[in-house]
Amino acid sequence: MYNTEDATRWRNIDTHMLRMGETPIELKPQLSIQPTTQPEPERGIQLPPLFQLPFSTHHHSENQQQTQLQPGTQLSESNPEHRHQAKPVWIHHRKLLFLFLGFSLCAAILGIIYYMHQNLQNRSNTIVTPCLSPACQWASAHLSMSDDPFTQPCDYFLFTCGSDIFPPENGGRQRGQGIIGHPQNQNEKSIWLQRRGQDKEREDRGLREETIRDRKTELLQYLKKILESNDSSSSLAVKKAKGFYNSCLDTRSIDTAGAEPFLTLIQELGGWAVSGQWNHSDFNSTLSLLMRDYATFPFFNLYVGKDPNETAHETTKRYIQIDQPDLLIPIEWNSKTQKSQAKTETLRQFLASCQRYLALLGAMPSSNMIHAGIFLALSSELAVAAAPLHYRLSNGQLYQRMTIKELQSQAPAIDWLGCLQAVFHPLPLIEDDHVLLHNRPYIMQMSPIIGKWLNEHELSSRGPLQTYMVLNLLHTLMPALDSRFSETANNLSFALGNNERVAPRWKHCVLETEKGFDSVLTHLLSERTAHGEAEEIIQNIFSSFKSKLHELKWKDEKSLQFVMKKVQSLIPRLWTTKDISSEAELDLLFSEVSVSNQSFFSNYVQLLSLQQKRRNKLLTEQTEMVDILSVTPFLQGNDLLFPMGMFIPPLFHPTYPRAMNYGVMGFLIAKDILHLLLPDIYSQSESVRTVGECVWAHYLTVTEKESRGGAFSLSAVQQQEVWVQYSALQIALQAYHQSLKNRPADTSISGLSHTRLFLSSFSQVNCDSDPYREFMPLEPSFLITVVCVKSNLCPTSLQCPNKTQQHLLQKC
């Protein structure tokens, strides 16, 4: 394998290098030369230099050199001088390699330790813990039953709310079809209605309303669960509130009692001519009794409130306010004659319902028609003097101040001081006290009408005013009477064109319970409200909202300063009373209330008395009452108040992942704030219009409506609503990511976390029904695709491969 020609060639190279004064250190192991005649299996795989370094003892190293460097070995043996010189160099070189290897090994170990540390830290920040609370388990089940918005995004974000109950040939419900002027609004809908029929339409509407529940319904559902809970509360007031609610649900006992409880009450009020037993009681005495004990106001309304003309003085004084009554007769406003009127068709339906009421109350057929006609005639005369709010507002007829003495001289048929003293007992009212009128012309005309029917009318002997007051009392107490009365009222409503579905009994009972036991429900709701978490999300959303204002395009710097000055003056906070009553205080307050499990009528009469006491409390104690049924924020001076009723499951829960709370409640809070301040922003910023049109352009591109001629321009109010909801989503998302920076850890639901859970939660709440819903020309869930354009925060699966123009979309 080794011949003399090779040796000669190597000696020549060595001699040449020695002449140049160099040592042949380039002959390193990695430069070993293997004869080309070596068989392929023996040559093996040539490892990189690092892995060819000697790791064994010196003896083993020399043997390895002999194996790998055969030419070098022969050279050393034939040249003793070279052999003596190469060995120290090789040994020295090996030490350096050991040193380098040790350093590399230490560096590698340190790198691995650092990597593991960083990896564990990152995993602690990104790996989320599943939320296993009962509320999260419910939310997980709810999400699992709903469509995943990221499975088929191109379809989901166009058709969501209630799409399964609309014609499949339409591909689901398109929000634009509910907008006047939409090209598909008339033809497709009319064809479908002809095919399905009016009855099916009502059925589908009912299903859709059950599926799409607004925030008010969610709050009522939550209060229902509280009232039906079996917790062992020691509070008597709480037990009475629950007892009242349960007696309201007992429709069997209510129907069994029939009209008898109401007929007994009429006799206590002096009877009436319809039954043939009437003691001709004094008109003003009966009127005072109805207003004081039964919260019934047949001829005028009474309530308590501030004078807006005194708001600049920051006064807390409240006044008795007198307004026109809620008339039972159906009327409409004639803009030409500037008077109220009633159509013949509606009067006929109204008269028939009056006759039905009288028949249920035992009126003889001979007198039924007479008394029904009396009620219709008197109602019509009073209705002529009534006027809608917008007319009274435009003519300055609201908050007209006068003394009780002045009111008495202008409307003498009513004993004003006596009636007001009876209603607001024990408050000592005098003739010089001021009241506020909201329709002075009505009050001036009401007085002579009452005087005519009381003394001069040919039917005055039949007690027309007593019949009028009794039927108004019947309307007040109808919720506590058997179903025949409510069915009569519902039939009249339907005949007059009101197609609203009758509220389920549980909802009716929750609303009635709140009327009398509002302070009890406020206490129970406050106990269950996560005040700290609610305050946190309010503050974070408001902070994000202020940041958003700086991103808008303003007319000039003064415009931004104008809006920011107003915003900076606002104090956002949770709306609670300064001192929510304790259970002991509630027990004392309701100590005189006796709740019967079998008689809802008697319970309801006591409830009306409780309502009147609450009205008196507003006037005497000047306290701020919390509206427990409020579900949207409002401005009160510089306070931006958020009701507790907003922060209830399933919309909000302290154990939810923050991604879910911000995706649902954060969005709703931001939307409410923008609606409150929209007039100022719209008048000073150009972004509302431009952003609204940009989002609309996205919608037209993705749906390809523009190319098919199905596009229509947005109105100003539609542009505003698109901008509001799009901005609200951005604000909520920004606030959530800021919260993650402050507190990186967050839990998950259904394996989703962070932005994915945020967007999935938002896509479920976008069916929330609110007063502005009709102005939204597209599904709010579609806004996700607009936010995610050219954003690294969103899943890549949002891209629609079948939409060729999507890459041309710009960020709004």
For residue 111, pLDDT over 70 is answered with no
Mark whether 182 and 300 lie in a shared domain: no
Distance in angstroms (rounded) separating the CA atoms of residues 793 and 785: 12
CA 200 to chain centroid? 30
Mark whether 119 and 138 lie in a shared domain: no
532 is a domain residue:
yes
For residue 274, pLDDT over 70 is answered with yes
Provide the mean pLDDT of the chain.
Answer: 79
CA angle 335, 339, 341 (to 5 degrees): 100
- Phi, psi (rounded to 5 degrees) for 530: -80, 85
Per the structure, the count of domains in the chain is 3
- How much is the CA Rg of the chain, to the nearest whole Å? 42
811: pLDDT confidence band, cut at 50, 70 and 90?
A: confident
Under 8 Å between Cβ of 686 and 553: yes
For residue 196, pLDDT over 50 is answered with no
Q: What's the CATH number where 631 sits?
A: 3.40.390
Mark whether 409 and 544 lie in a shared domain: no
Query: What value does the mean pLDDT take over residues 30-58?
Result: 36
Which tens digits make up the pLDDT trace of 476-532?
A: 999 999 999 999 999 999 988 888 888 899 999 999 999 999 999 999 999 999 999
Cα 201 to Cα 119, 165, 208, 491, 777: the distances in Å are 58, 10, 10, 19, 22
Could you say which of 424, 452, 480 is where a domain stops? 480
Mark whether 117 and 160 lie in a shared domain: no
Distance in angstroms (rounded) separating the CA atoms of residues 106 and 99: 11
Distance in angstroms (rounded) separating the CA atoms of residues 52 and 47: 6
Task: Report the pLDDT value the prediction gives residue 457, as an integer from 0 to 100.
Answer: 81
- Reduced to 3 states (helix: H, G, I; strand: E, B; else coil), residue 170 is helix
Task: Report the pLDDT value the prediction gives residue 277, as an integer from 0 to 100.
Answer: 82
For residue 699, pLDDT over 70 is answered with yes
For residue 554, pLDDT over 90 is answered with yes
Under 8 Å between Cβ of 696 and 688: no
Which residues fall within 8 angstroms of residue 543, CB to CB, at 6 or more apart?
735, 738
Distance in angstroms (rounded) separating the CA atoms of residues 650 and 660: 10
Residue type, 599: S
224 is a domain residue:
no
Mark whether 683 and 539 lie in a shared domain: yes
Instruction: With CA atoms as reference, report the closest residue to 486 among 301, 254, 296.
Output: 254
Residue type, 396: G
* Sign, CA torsion 538/539/542/548: negative
Mark whether 531 and 438 lie in a shared domain: no
154 is a domain residue:
yes
Cβ neighbourhood burial of 244 (10 Å; 0-12, 13-18, 19+): buried
pLDDT > 70: percent of the chain:
71
Query: Quick one: tokens of 320?
Result: 């008795």
Q: What's the CATH number where 454 sits?
A: 1.10.1380.10
62 is a domain residue:
yes
62: pLDDT confidence band, cut at 50, 70 and 90?
A: very low
Query: What value does the mean pLDDT take over residues 341-351?
Result: 90
Mark whether 326 and 424 lie in a shared domain: yes
107 is a domain residue:
yes
Mark whether 679 and 793 lie in a shared domain: yes
Helix 687-703 to helix 667-684 angle, to the nearest 10 degrees? 120
Which tens digits make up the pLDDT trace of 382-436?
A: 999 899 999 999 999 999 999 999 999 999 999 999 999 999 988 889 999 999 9
Mark whether 112 and 138 lie in a shared domain: no
Task: Report the pLDDT value the prediction gives residue 280, as an integer from 0 to 100.
Answer: 83
Mark whether 151 and 118 lie in a shared domain: no
Query: What value does the mean pLDDT take over residues 780-809?
Result: 70
Mark whether 444 and 544 lie in a shared domain: no
For residue 177, pLDDT over 80 is answered with no
49: pLDDT confidence band, cut at 50, 70 and 90?
A: very low
Task: Report the pLDDT value the prediction gives residue 800, as an integer from 0 to 100.
Answer: 60
Distance in angstroms (rounded) separating the CA atoms of residues 489 and 493: 6
Task: Report the pLDDT value the prediction gives residue 705, as an integer from 0 to 100.
Answer: 67
Cβ neighbourhood burial of 663 (10 Å; 0-12, 13-18, 19+): buried
Could you say which of 424, 450, 480 is where a domain stops? 480
Reported for 25-31, long-range contacts at CB under 8 A and 24+ positions apart, including other chains, are 25/89, 25/93, 27/69, 27/72, 28/93, 29/53, 29/54, 29/64, 29/65, 29/68, 29/69
Task: Report the pLDDT value the prediction gives residue 73, as an integer from 0 to 100.
Answer: 38
Which tens digits make up the pLDDT trace of 458-484?
A: 787 788 999 999 999 999 999 999 999
Could you say which of 429, 448, 480 is where a domain stops? 480
154: pLDDT confidence band, cut at 50, 70 and 90?
A: low
For residue 200, pLDDT over 80 is answered with no
Query: What value does the mean pLDDT take over residues 131-138?
Result: 94
Query: What value does the mean pLDDT take over residues 742-764?
Result: 89
> Other C-beta atoms within 10 Å of 401: how many?
12
717 is a domain residue:
yes
753 is a domain residue:
yes
Task: Report the pLDDT value the prediction gives residue 417, as an integer from 0 to 100.
Answer: 97
* Sign, CA torsion 653/654/659/665: positive
Name 752's bridge partners: 749
CA angle 647, 649, 652 (to 5 degrees): 50
Mark whether 294 and 388 lie in a shared domain: yes
Domain that residue 651 falls in: 134-216+521-808
Query: Quick one: tokens of 73?
Result: 């070995």
434-437 and 318-323 strand pairing: parallel
> Other C-beta atoms within 10 Å of 379: how many?
22
413 is a domain residue:
yes
